[in-house]
Chains A and B, each alone.
Chain A
């Protein structure tokens, strides 16, 4: 059963007299509990897709169904609630709040949720049980990204959206992050959508959607996803 369904979604930006077609009529679906990678070069429209999917942006045309609910027609207020209860975000630059400790950053998310994980537990599950009271500036990039993932997971979202989570990390650290994400998907059955420009990591996905110039170039289901350790890049 597909958790997410994009039906002919279009997103146009009008900048003066120029209309940029960021997303130009794409349709795909994502199954619950699957690990999907959206891959494409810069400007392919993948972040726009993620933003629309995460309720951060509206689409110009088309329908976006998340768990059977049409997200594309939600009001701003409904979008807030959608983000709050259904979506977890992980960004390239972690977007941790500098003035809060790791635990507090996670708590920032759990404060507003209905049935959150314990912050400590969430951090433990990403392997940061001993760095809980450190400020972001005292953590390495990978650690910060793990805090970010813990923050996203603590909300128990339906969908975990990751925008280039390894983009600012070295390979090894990137690998750990990807492993963590894969583990979360496999073990906890969390639906993960990951955006990257790096095609090398596509083998780990259940589904790979390749984008270019706002359109889907290919949408392949990977019958045998590899574990991160098996991937070479």
Chain B
């Protein structure tokens, strides 16, 4: 090549700086991204390898249920292939305080017996412990322990003594370290406390008061040479593990023979003592109970007696009362009767008295009338009466006397008259005169007659009247006396009655008083009795209570003792069959997830950059072919000057190659440090104890990428030149005829074409005019859209795993794993099912199985799930078909298989699958395929299981959902159930969700990287293509300007095409994105996980919008370019 040609090439480069740089840039992006991402995984593995080697991370961690002796250590050390053995101690304790966090304490690693220190600590801060009560804490966790802080520990089981395991309970933090066993924030699980280890710490070995070593750290000789996570490592490890297992068998046997009998004997003795003690105490207690019972009986008896006596008294009182009442009423009756009598007497008396008075008055008148005119005047009569009311007999005689006297006077008179008459008669007779005619005579005779009549009357009176009168008086007097007598009698009776009343009253009063007294006595007696009873009962109660308390205490004590004995027995049983756990690095928290993450990056690295690279090459092709086209005249000139074809080829190939090589080198130089560092730093959030990145260039990737880029660009340069050089030099010298205008297909469809506006027509024709550009733009934009789409889609899909798995499919909040032995299961089930903090509960069984269909087989993370009660279980586990969302029903006709597992086995509903559980296997019909994202499950009804495997399922897993309404204290629930007998572990979904979320938070960075690169891709591609477009059409643009198009109108003229092309690109990109996403998901999906398959509408929207934004950005920049186009310059000459 001539010097001139070289100079010409260099000048071309400087003249087309922008183009040269853009080729360089796109190659740089493509190669840098590809090599960068592909170097990430090796770099991350290299970091891990270096770190593990530096810290001498153990390959095995041996734990024995009985601890290790020096002999064990020696035996392990002598196992073939073992390099270092370091015995050590660890124990789980609780951090004092409310939180009750579980801390795993380890002994500070120390070289042992000539072996190198295993699991060396890396000091972050402070220093290692120097005194036995100093502690260093593991860094990178969530808790912050500052230096100088005092940490106090408690035994994980309540009531147990910490001094059994540790010499000190309080430690001072003197440093912060990283242990290679804990590369991430994960701290693992344990079976004490809340079940979740919160932190790990190291104390000096001498601070442990455990007799035997609790763990052995082992490194393998051959393992050192292999990269961790590599297959070679795994193989070598398995070999060594088998040898260690053999050693463990020997040592376990030795242990059983040497030490067991002694312990069993002492335990038996303890059991015997326990039984004896228990019997004794029970007897004492029952005696006491008897005493109390006797006392109770006695008391009851006494009380009864007293009550009977009192009742008698009461009865008597009642009787007395009745009697008194009777007496009273009788007395009243009598009194009433007497009173009645008296009243009547009085009435009679009054009547009699009245009668007598009347009789007396009558008699007085009668007497008077009978005596009146008989010499007795009224005055005389009244005088005689005086003030008396009646006359006595003597008075009658007085009256008689008077009457008699009166008669005598009358008689005397009569007699005197008679004489006179006789004389007169005598005279008359003599005289003869008739006497009667003489008045004197008649008168005398009348008088006489009268006197005689009177005398006779008086005589009658004196004869009978007097007697009658006497009799009458006598009778009256008698009657009077009688009245008087009865009056007196009555008065006496009255007096007597009054007297009787007073007496009776006195008597009754006395009787009543007596009764009241008696009642009073009774009441007080009753009260006394009650008080007495109460006192006695209280005393007895107190005694009973004391006894009960004693009993309870004794029970508790015995329960405890029994538990201890049981535990001791269990421990002994364990010891009887000591188990050695041979843990590998995979059991270290975070260890295998690191590899998973690296693999994920690796998988992403396989897809994206290739795609990226493809676009980059395409862009180069357009740019280069354009360059060659533009240099047509130069090529023509060179050929006419006589330069050979290969010189010309060389010129352009040199141009392309230099851009490519520089781009590749710069890309690798930037991409390799930057991309792995960015990604690793994102992951360092999770793996904080990892040291800084060891960059590991993926040489093969870098070379291949560079070569591919070179090959592509060279080929483009060659083929374009070749096509050009086929022309005669003369043709080349002439300007290339402008590409002729062409009618497009659309114009034939008149009704569409004619309706289109002028600019629409122009745009339509232009789009089809530059076909290469059309495709390039569409592909570039589509690529960008697809990348963004895939990035967001991936993010959403991974997010869906947790959201759907634990939000929709498995809705439990915690799992309580019970001891298989079913000994406690019943009581545990009762407890759990009665626990009000849980809403739904289900008991089930999960068994590790191998699922097969013909020669297809899945055995990792595959479980047979057997619900005890299908209704309960499906309340918590949502068995549904993914696409339709239809519920699947588990029946005894077959099994339900999870989607990913079904896909791996290539089975669908109606097919048969084989389930292998340990040694047994059975065939089942697949009833349905259910949605599931983590692990593989075969759901089977308990009846079918029993029938197929000929044994009852052992249910040992409780799934519970928290009751929404009540606050749910996970730690409290966890602790409570871990303290419950028969519970092996409690795990909360929230913890797994959290750790998963933390894990995928690093994915945000990956998504960001993808979006940034997609943006870079879109911008570079669009910029480049628009640039070419503008360069090609400079003249056209200038014409427009000259015609008076405004800047905006000019840009719009060009952009109409761009926008349309972008829209095509976006549309294509969405389609491509769906495919790309599907590809990426199936590529990076782990065996145990199925990522979400739903593509959210927002993914479409975001990817389309972002692409539009990038395109808009490029157009904005290009607008400035368009503005700057100088029309004068570009119109001046022919192209």
Contact = CB atoms under 8 A, between A and B. Distances in A.
B1044 A83 contact: yes
A225 to B, nearest CB: 28
B738 A80 contact: no
Contact of A95 (B759, B1035, B1044): B1035
B386 interface: no
B1134 interface: yes
A80 B1035 contact: no
Q: Which of A54, A84, A89, A108 has the most CB of B within 10 A?
A: A108
Interface in B716-768: 737-742, 758-759, 761-762, 765-766
B805 to A, nearest CB: 57
A137 B769 CA distance: 14
B1044 A81 contact: yes
B740 A104 contact: no
Given A80-B1041, A99-B769, A135-B742, 17 more contacts: A57-B1128, A80-B1044, A83-B1043, A84-B1043, A85-B1044, A99-B742, A99-B766, A100-B741, A101-B741, A104-B761, A104-B762, A107-B758, A108-B758, A136-B738, A137-B737, A137-B738, A155-B1044
B581 interface: no
Given A98-B740, A104-B762, A137-B738, A112 B1044 contact: yes
B1042 A89 contact: yes
Contacts of A87: 1044
B1053 to A, nearest CB: 9
Nearest to A135: B741
Nearest to A110: B758
Contacts of A56: 1042, 1127-1128
Nearest to A101: B741
A51 interface: yes
A162 B503 CA distance: 169
Contact of B741 (A51, A109, A136, A155): A136
B1044 A98 contact: no
Contacts of B1045: 80, 84, 112
Nearest to B1134: A93
Nearest to A50: B1128
7 contacts: A56-B1042, A77-B1046, A83-B1044, A95-B1039, A97-B1039, A112-B1043, A136-B741
Contacts of A107: 758
Interface string A99-130: 11100100111011000000000000000000
User: Can you list the 9 inter-chain pairs with the closest CB atoms, starting with the nearest?
Assistant: A84-B1044, A135-B741, A137-B740, A83-B1044, A99-B741, A95-B1039, A98-B738, A98-B741, A80-B1046
Given A98-B738, A99-B765, A104 B758 contact: yes
B1044 A97 contact: no
Contacts of B1047: 80
Interface string A24-55: 00000000000000000000000100010010
B388 interface: no
B580 to A, nearest CB: 83
Contacts of A109: 1043
Q: Which of B742, B758, B769, B1041 has the most CB of A within 10 A?
A: B758
Contacts of B1039: 95-97
Q: Which of A85, A91, A155 has the most CB of B within 10 A?
A: A91
Contacts of A83: 1041-1044
A228 to B, nearest CB: 25
Interface string B1029-1046: 000000110111111111
B546 interface: no
Given A51-B1128, A99-B765, A137-B738, A112 B1042 contact: no
Contacts of A82: 1044
Interface string B578-600: 00000000000000000000000
B951 interface: no
Interface in A133-179: 135-138, 151, 155
Contacts of A104: 758, 761-762
Given A98-B740, A136-B741, A108 B1132 contact: no
Interface in B995-1051: 1035-1036, 1038-1047, 1049
Q: How extensive is the interface on chain B, given as a class?
A: 20 to 34
B258 to A, nearest CB: 99
B740 A97 contact: no
A98 B1035 CA distance: 11
Interface of A: 47, 51, 54, 56-57, 77, 80-85, 87, 89, 91, 93, 95-101, 104, 107-109, 111-112, 135-138, 151, 155
Nearest to B1044: A84
Contacts of B742: 99, 135
Given A54-B1042, A83-B1043, A95 B1131 contact: yes
Nearest to B1123: A76
Contacts of B766: 99
Contact of A112 (B762, B1049, B1132): B1049
B1043 A47 contact: no
A196 B1049 CA distance: 32
A34 to B, nearest CB: 23
A27 B1060 CA distance: 50
Nearest to B1033: A97
Nearest to B757: A111
Interface in B909-944: none
A95 B1047 CA distance: 19
A99 B762 contact: yes
A135 B743 CA distance: 9
Interface in B1112-1135: 1127-1128, 1131-1132, 1134
Nearest to A87: B1044
A82 B1043 CA distance: 10
A6 to B, nearest CB: 18
Nearest to B769: A99
A63 B861 CA distance: 89
Contacts of B737: 137
Interface in B808-867: none
A51 B758 CA distance: 29
Interface string B768-795: 0100000000000000000000000000
Q: Which of B737, B741, B1043, B1131 has the most CB of A within 10 A?
A: B1043
Interface string B614-650: 0000000000000000000000000000000000000
A109 B769 CA distance: 21
A100 B1131 CA distance: 18
A137 B1128 CA distance: 24
Q: Which of B742, B1131, B1132 has the most CB of A within 10 A?
A: B1131
Contacts of A80: 1041, 1044-1047
A152 to B, nearest CB: 9
A112 B1127 CA distance: 18
A83 B1038 CA distance: 12
B759 to A, nearest CB: 8
A109 B1128 CA distance: 18
Contacts of A98: 738-741, 1036
A97 B1039 CA distance: 8
A155 B1044 CA distance: 10
A112 B1047 CA distance: 13
Interface in B33-53: none
B1133 to A, nearest CB: 8
Nearest to A96: B1039
Nearest to B741: A135
Contacts of A77: 1046
A136 B1132 CA distance: 19
B736 to A, nearest CB: 12
A51 B1038 CA distance: 13
A14 to B, nearest CB: 15
Given A104-B762, A136-B741, A91 B1131 contact: yes
B1119 to A, nearest CB: 14
Contacts of B1038: 95
Contact of B765 (A84, A100, A151): A100
Contacts of A137: 737-738, 740-741
